[in-house]
Chain A
Amino acid sequence: MNGAVEGIRLRGLHKRYGATVALAGLDLDIRPGEVLGVAGPNGAGKSTLIRIIAGEERPDGGELAFNGSAWTPSVDWRAVAVVHQEPQLFPNLTIAENVLVGREGTRIGRPWLSGGDAKVMKAFGIDRYANTLLGDCSLATQQRAEIARAVARDAQVFLFDEPNSALTDEESDELFREMHKLAADGRIVLLVTHRLGDLFEHANRVAVIRDGQVRAILEGDALTEDGIAQELVVGRGDETSAKGPAAIGQDRCVLVAIDDWSHSAGAFRAISLEANPGEIIALIGVEGAGARELLRSFGGLESCSGTIEIAGETGDMAQRLTAYVPATRTLSLYSNLSVGENVLARLGEPDIAGFGMALKKRRMRQLANEAIRRFSIRAYAASQGIRSLSGGNQQKVAIAQALNCAPRLLLLEEPTRGVDIHSKREIYRLLRDFVGANNTVIMFCTEVLEVYEAADRAHVVVEGGLSPAITVHDYAHIEALATDIARMQRHGPHDLVNGATRASLP
């Protein structure tokens, strides 16, 4: 056990952010020479783990060891390189300068490319771009420059954080080749991604993180996409309390009808979708599959062609009946306003203002307090600053704000990301109440768990296409749903999987 263990040893890592526990005693061994995959639902602690290994955060407790000796990444950060989906480099410098930057401290003059650096750049195929500005290069080239920069400074640990979500297939293949090369050189390689297929194909082992701990390590025969998909959701299937009535009335009048809906930048093509009142529909897809853009497009936030009809209105008027809530609360809330003001921010005349645009202060207080009660927002007063609320309560404020302008179609992007379980249930209950009043919710999810707990119907978005409907109520276990969704993501949208999946579209 002890002695000179090769690689990184993490024992009992703890990290809290305020009331949120991000890591709850995480143990993990990362060996040199292998690609270790890391999977986990949003908020499971993956990004905290990466930040700790990269030295961007210190753990509250626990031990880190590197090659057998205690290790503080925040001091010894040069050993670690993080490759993000958005390269963290200097777009105003050339590729060569980017490789050099950070090492100029040893000389008075300008640093220059040594023979070793040139070799590294050649090895990563970026030598011909040496004098091109980084900002002018493609994302894939920028990522290669980021890796080359780390190799040139002799980093031993490489953390890949969703590295290929914005790359083409060829570019991803190229990236994975580099990744394997790094591992073959005896470096430590960690790959964090939502794409189960990539984990299956490229990782030697996959650690599944849930609730701040490593819950399973899959390797060998156990390492399959279905295996990962099931581990991601295992033990979570009992949280289905917010499920609405399975039978949606027989009067299948259509509230939302979308036809031949195509994105002008090509994120999705020729989508048709119908939604009934009382329905919660989930669009599930990995980053870059087009699901997020599709959701935004229903609210008129992307430029699209095709027809959209909501409650008898078409085009622009239809989109006015939607309300969109982005995934990040920094995009939906006003940090300078109070809880009450945030709840009312989308309202106008005549709700909160009367003659001469004068605010109806008493009416506003009344509406705000009403909303705080109705949406179970835990605030001691409507005048409380929004930043003092917990993440879950902030999200309730964001949804309350959107619902206040009486939409018929609510568009939610990952509605419970970073939200505690208690608030999550309440949010699902609010959505049920909302669709219960003859409205519709369409939400973009990346987690099967969310689909299982909240949605009536799910569509997988793969490469800009929409899968046939999956009726969530047909699944008794979340594992089966996770397997089917993973399969659809693997094989593309037009593959009917089993009896549980049926086409609902004419």
Chain B
Amino acid sequence: MISADSREPVPTEAARSSLSSTGQATFDLALRMGGLFLAIVLVALLMFVLKPNSFNVDVGISVLRAMSSVAIMSLGLTLVIVVGEIDLSFGAMYGLGANSLAVMWILLSIPIYAALPLAIGVGAMVGLFNGALVTWLSIPSFIVTLGSYNLLYGVSLWITKTSTFNPVYPPPGSEIPPAELDFFTGLTASFGSHPISLEVVWMLGLALIVGFLLHRTLFGFRLMAIGGNPVAAALARLPVTRYKILAFVICGMLAATAGILDFSFIQTTQPNIGLSYTFPVFAAVIIGGASLSGGKGTVVGAMSGALLLAELQQGLALLSPGPHVQQLFLGFVTIGAVALDLALTNIRKRRAA
């Protein structure tokens, strides 16, 4: 029977329209995203004022291209962070993705059509390795992935014999069929009157897929739940182990993909590529509002964080005030975003009290 209590709340139509307090619709998240978008617009305006000549569509496109690999990795990292874990190894996986493809394709003459999925499969295996150690052996993910970061870099150095690869100029003895080379460079070919690389399209497509996965599927719903309270999730018999491993696997695959796409665009790979992406990707995810304690994070946030970072990077490169400014900005923006987050949380708590 329904209680006839007069205090019985009647959900309003507006309130009915959304169920989620994490994905969207909450006031502070809107503020947060609003702040982020505002920052992105402000940086653009600043560029326009300071360097009106360089402010054009082509620069905007180059920002999108520059953000794409960071953005793709931040998608995977968002999943791992939402489920309450940490992955430090994706930067090294980016390198191993590109390098293992180069070795399989250029040195071992495996056709690109097989080498490409195999290289992404390496990312999946690495994710499985990370996830299995984290869940089955209960080793903290920070330690596991710190270890695999070094392991992966070591493997990259080993299989490439510390040399660089360029499919256009293969080492003596190797031959790249022109069709395969066209296919590979075609992955990130530019199109349109203002040339825009296909890599941007890949990035947007992957963002849509991961966004759907995180915000519109049972998988994402449970990732949020597991990250928010792993003990409750285990008591409720949610598949905690499987989902944590899956998050690591997807993260590994996306890192490998990012490495391969950049390899296709730049057409050269070195053993140490990707390592320096580790912290910018973390910064993008954190700026986007994910919480390192788990259970909180959005795809839109991670993408916006990556966009803001790329914008700052490109803008500062044009202004060329010196290499230190970019690092200073990265530091300020990361800390500022989290400080804003905490301030908003406090405001909300005071309102609730």
Point out residues on A near B: beta carbons under 8 Å: 18, 301, 320, 324, 326, 330-338, 340-341, 345-346, 348-349, 352-353, 356-359, 361, 364-365, 368-369, 372-374, 376, 378-388, 401-402, 405, 426
A336–B217 contact, CB under 8 A?
no
Shortest Cβ distance from B5 into A: residue? A376
Residue from B9, B18, B236 in contact with A378 in the complex, judged by beta carbons closer than 8 Å: B9
Chain B, interface SS category:
loop
Q: A337-B295, A348-B218 are in contact. List 16 more A-B contacts (CB 8 A).
A: A301-B235, A331-B231, A333-B229, A334-B225, A334-B233, A336-B295, A338-B19, A341-B19, A341-B22, A345-B225, A361-B19, A364-B19, A378-B8, A378-B9, A381-B11, A388-B352
* A353 to B233 Cα, complex, angstroms: 18
Residue from B11, B216, B225 in contact with A359 in the complex, judged by beta carbons closer than 8 Å: B216
* A323 to B59 Cα, complex, angstroms: 57
Which B residues are CB-close (under 8 A) to A401?
236
Which B residues are CB-close (under 8 A) to A335?
228-229, 295
Q: Contacts A332-B235, A338-B22, A376-B3 known; A352 to B218 CB distance under 8 Å?
A: yes
* A376 to B5 Cα, complex, angstroms: 9
The 10 closest A-B pairs by CB, nearest first: A381-B15, A338-B21, A336-B295, A353-B218, A336-B228, A334-B228, A357-B217, A357-B218, A340-B19, A346-B236
In the complex, 7 of the A-B residue pairs with CB atoms within 8 angstroms, ordered by the A residue number, are: A336-B295, A341-B22, A357-B217, A364-B19, A376-B8, A381-B11, A402-B236
Check B320 for interface membership: any CB of A closer than 8 A: no
Residue from A324, A341, A376, A381 in contact with B12 in the complex, judged by beta carbons closer than 8 Å: A381
A336–B16 contact, CB under 8 A?
no
Q: Contacts A346-B238, A376-B5 known; A337 to B15 CB distance under 8 Å?
A: no
* A374 to B229 Cα, complex, angstroms: 25
Shortest Cβ distance from B18 into A: residue? A383
Which B residues are CB-close (under 8 A) to A330?
229
B16–A369 contact, CB under 8 A?
yes
* A332 to B229 Cα, complex, angstroms: 8
Residue from B2, B232, B294, B352 in contact with A333 in the complex, judged by beta carbons closer than 8 Å: B232
A337–B225 contact, CB under 8 A?
yes
Which B residues are CB-close (under 8 A) to A331?
229, 231-232, 235
A359–B221 contact, CB under 8 A?
yes
Nearest-Cβ distance from residue B318 to partner chain A, whole angstroms:
40
Which A residues are CB-close (under 8 A) to B217?
353, 356-359
Check B116 for interface membership: any CB of A closer than 8 A: no
Shortest Cβ distance from A339 into B: residue? B21
Which A residues are CB-close (under 8 A) to B7?
378
Nearest-Cβ distance from residue A279 to partner chain B, whole angstroms:
22
B15–A383 contact, CB under 8 A?
yes
* A405 to B238 Cα, complex, angstroms: 12
Q: Contacts A352-B218, A385-B26 known; A369 to B20 CB distance under 8 Å?
A: no
A373–B2 contact, CB under 8 A?
yes
- Which of B217, B237, B291 has its CB near the most chain A CB atoms (within 10 A)? B237
Check B47 for interface membership: any CB of A closer than 8 A: no
Which A residues are CB-close (under 8 A) to B229?
330-331, 333-336
A338–B216 contact, CB under 8 A?
no
- Which of B222, B231, B232, B291 has its CB near the most chain A CB atoms (within 10 A)? B232
Which A residues are CB-close (under 8 A) to B224?
334, 336-337, 341
Q: Contacts A334-B228, A376-B8 known; A357 to B219 CB distance under 8 Å?
A: yes
* A398 to B57 Cα, complex, angstroms: 53
B2–A341 contact, CB under 8 A?
no
Nearest-Cβ distance from residue B264 to partner chain A, whole angstroms:
29
Nearest-Cβ distance from residue A388 to partner chain B, whole angstroms:
5
Check B353 for interface membership: any CB of A closer than 8 A: yes
Check B25 for interface membership: any CB of A closer than 8 A: yes
B15–A380 contact, CB under 8 A?
yes
* A26 to B173 Cα, complex, angstroms: 91
Which B residues are CB-close (under 8 A) to A386?
21
Which B residues are CB-close (under 8 A) to A346?
236-238
Check B296 for interface membership: any CB of A closer than 8 A: yes
- Which of A335, A361, A382, A383 has its CB near the most chain B CB atoms (within 10 A)? A383
* A381 to B216 Cα, complex, angstroms: 20
* A386 to B11 Cα, complex, angstroms: 15
Check B227 for interface membership: any CB of A closer than 8 A: yes
Nearest-Cβ distance from residue A327 to partner chain B, whole angstroms:
12
Shortest Cβ distance from B24 into A: residue? A383
Shortest Cβ distance from A422 into B: residue? B5
Which A residues are CB-close (under 8 A) to B11?
369, 372, 380-382
Shortest Cβ distance from A322 into B: residue? B237
Q: Contacts A336-B224, A357-B218 known; A341 to B21 CB distance under 8 Å?
A: yes
* A402 to B11 Cα, complex, angstroms: 23
Shortest Cβ distance from A324 into B: residue? B235
* A353 to B295 Cα, complex, angstroms: 20
A358–B25 contact, CB under 8 A?
no
Nearest-Cβ distance from residue B98 to partner chain A, whole angstroms:
31
Q: Contacts A326-B235, A356-B217 known; A385 to B21 CB distance under 8 Å?
A: yes
Nearest-Cβ distance from residue A473 to partner chain B, whole angstroms:
24
